[in-house]
Amino acid sequence: MCGICGLFDTAGHGGADERALRAMNGKLFHRGPDGEGYLLDGPVGLAMRRLSIIDLPGGGQPVFNEDKTLAVVFNGEIYNHRALAAGLKAKRHVFSTACDTETLVHLYEEYGEDMFSRLRGMFAFALWDSRRKRMLVARDRLGKKPLCYSFKNGRLAFASEMEALLESGVASREVDFTALDLYLGLQYIPAPLSIFKDVRKLEPGCFISAQAGSCEIKKYWELRPAGNSLSGGYDDAVDLVRSKLEESVKQRLEADVPLGAFLSGGVDSSAVVAFMARNSSAPVKTFSIGFEGETASELPFARETAKRYSTEHTEITVRPDMLSVLPMLARHYGEPFADSSAVPSYYVARETAKHVKVALNGDGGDEAFCGYPRYATLSARAGLLALPAMLRKSVASVAACLPQGKAKRFGLSLDRTLSELHFNAISYFGAAEKRRLYSKETAALLDGNMRGAEDYIGALFTRAACAGALAQMSYCDYNSYLPHCLLAKMDIASMAASLEARSPFLDHELVELAFALPAEYKTGGGTGKRILKDALRGIVPDSVLARPKTGFALPLDSWLRGELKDFWTATVLSDGARRRGWFDAGYVKSLQEAHLSGQADNGRLLWSLMMLELWAAEYNI
């Protein structure tokens, strides 16, 4: 686990800029405080910072093949590396280390671009083939590990984080307003876009092939149901889910350093801890976090699971120092990011890192088994969308005349597509709000189009090519919200604390299995995770299985009316923000006033504007 970066002058202008490479790597220190490594080979420069997890004495990078014609820098873990190494050794490949990184160079020697289908893990890596003068830069299937890059005037630069990439001298800091518009609609910027025009984020399941003046993006994996996973009925599927999840957890227990688990008290993290306990010879180290003044703490539920499995449990109660942590997080994310759960994620990672170097978590369980309430709600609503269009429009017209309330909202929703309903459930600023928010200059830069986020979600629903509302929503989240928001959040929050986070629910074989399950296996009785909960009965406490879904977010509404009110004003209504002129200052102020008076709950909108301005201040925009 580490941070990686690199340079490649594909146009033959000269050698790699060592000074720039070292500056890039310096910005990644937090991702790997245990060591660093460099390779300079003519037009190519590779660098990395190491967080030592496996083969502590022999796992330094770059790692080479036998004749040193191949070199790789790697961020992540290959969970099946031992089996891969055994097969490669049988084909006469000679290994000089016991680390998973070395598997990559020998796989490439043996299989070329077909190597990716054999990897099971999380990764971002760059492999330099000096004989063919070719660079491969790859990202894992689900997007667990990040990779941003810039290709300009024949020069390729890449890095694990945006701040490091900007040290390359390849990319400018010119803002991409299409990306800004997407951020305001979604709370994050989806790949391949970034907030900077010259920077792109490599999409999950893709790799870059660069050589001789070219930089081609290729896709090696797309989410599709596993072909042979559904023989038998529901009970067989329950057994299969249980065994596959336990296998995934077991694979992620390999480490030459102490490891533990985040335990929130929810179904997913409790399941991970349960299977860790079943496959560990020593008590599992678990970590839970609460905040001072919290009215609905999850600590009691986490405590119950910890007691059930006799874990070595640590409870952390903190009072967030928002004035210092928010600018720090804005800098680490490298672009505007408004998921407020980044704050508790950072705090639990920071405290956990005082005890262990690796922590397992429950990320991905909601996407795999449809745990978000919107899945059940919108799936049920989707049946009504099959009614004749004229009938739905008539009902919507009548609903428009009703007073505000559930009946009005329900009637109006009948005149929406499933993708529009899905977007409404997840969106921040919609098109109507943006028309009032943007200055004339910003609106002109967008050619008056305020529907970028809606169109992005709609395109994913069109691309889904799968039957059923549940499958379409799941496909959309796997290709948007999960990789570009949740996984980005956890990677940056954990690595800012020099902690490796592993996610058993994001094993691609488990994901393919879950995606292939019939909708009725996942939702039942108006709630999600039916089959997962049945697979966990007798393993996870019944009280945990019966709990409704709760989020891991901050009490934004009350904080923005209280302790963050003045900070918000000083940040969002600053002279710098006014001079930049992106927004109508009067409308921005009215959003705060409506929130402070209780006329509206604009917490999410105010938070997204504040995180945008904090990012702009950190990057001198």
Separation CA 578–CA 587 (nearest Å): 12
List, for residues 32-62, the tens digit of each pLDDT value.
999 999 999 999 999 999 998 877 777 789 9
Residue 414, pLDDT > 80, answer: no
Separation of alpha carbons 540 and 569, rounded Å: 45
Catalytic-residue membership of 2: yes
Residues sharing a CB contact under 8 Å with residue 175, sequence separation 6 or more, in sequence order: 195, 196, 197, 621
- Spot the catalytic one: 2, 370, 476, 485: 2
Task: Indicate the pTM of the whole model.
Answer: 0.93
Q: pLDDT tens, 231-277?
A: 789 999 999 999 999 999 999 999 888 899 999 889 999 999 999 99
Q: Which residues contact 423 (CB under 8 A, 6 or more apart)?
A: 453, 454, 457, 458
Instruction: At 99, list the tokens.
Output: 């680390």
Q: Are strands 312-318 and 2-9 parallel, antiparallel or unpaired?
A: unpaired
Rounded Cα distance between 251 and 34, Å, is 24
Q: What is the third-level CATH fold of 234-370+477-545?
A: Rossmann fold (3.40.50)
Digit-coded pLDDT (tens) for 370-405: 999 899 888 877 766 666 666 656 655 654 565 655
Q: What are the domain boundaries of the chain? A: 2-219, 234-370+477-545, 555-621
Distance CA 194, CA 157 (A): 15
Dihedral of alpha carbons 185, 188, 191, 193, sign:
positive
Residue 620 backbone class (left: φ over 0; alpha: ψ -120 to 50; beta: rest): left
* CA-based nearest residue to 242, from 250, 121, 222: 250
Question: Could you give the CA distance from residue 88 to residue 68 in angstroms, rounded to a whole number?
Answer: 17
Q: What is the pLDDT of residues 438-495, one digit of tens each?
A: 999 999 999 989 999 999 999 999 999 777 889 999 999 999 999 999 999 999 999 9
Q: What is the mean pLDDT of residues 122-136?
A: 97
Instruction: Name the amino acid, one letter, at 410.
Output: F
Match 């709000």 to its residue by tokens. 433
Residue range 538-591, pLDDT digits in tens: 999 888 898 877 666 678 888 899 989 999 999 999 999 999 999 999 999 999
Say if residue 311 is exposed, middle or buried (CB neighbours under 10 Å; 0-12, 13-18, 19+).
buried
Supply the pLDDT for residue 95. Answer: 95
Tokens of 225: 């149901």
Q: Taking Cα atoms as reference points, which of 314, 271, 308, 309 lies closest to residue 290?
A: 314
**Residues facing residue 214 across a β-bridge:** 211
Structural domain 2-219, CATH architecture: 4-Layer Sandwich (3.60)
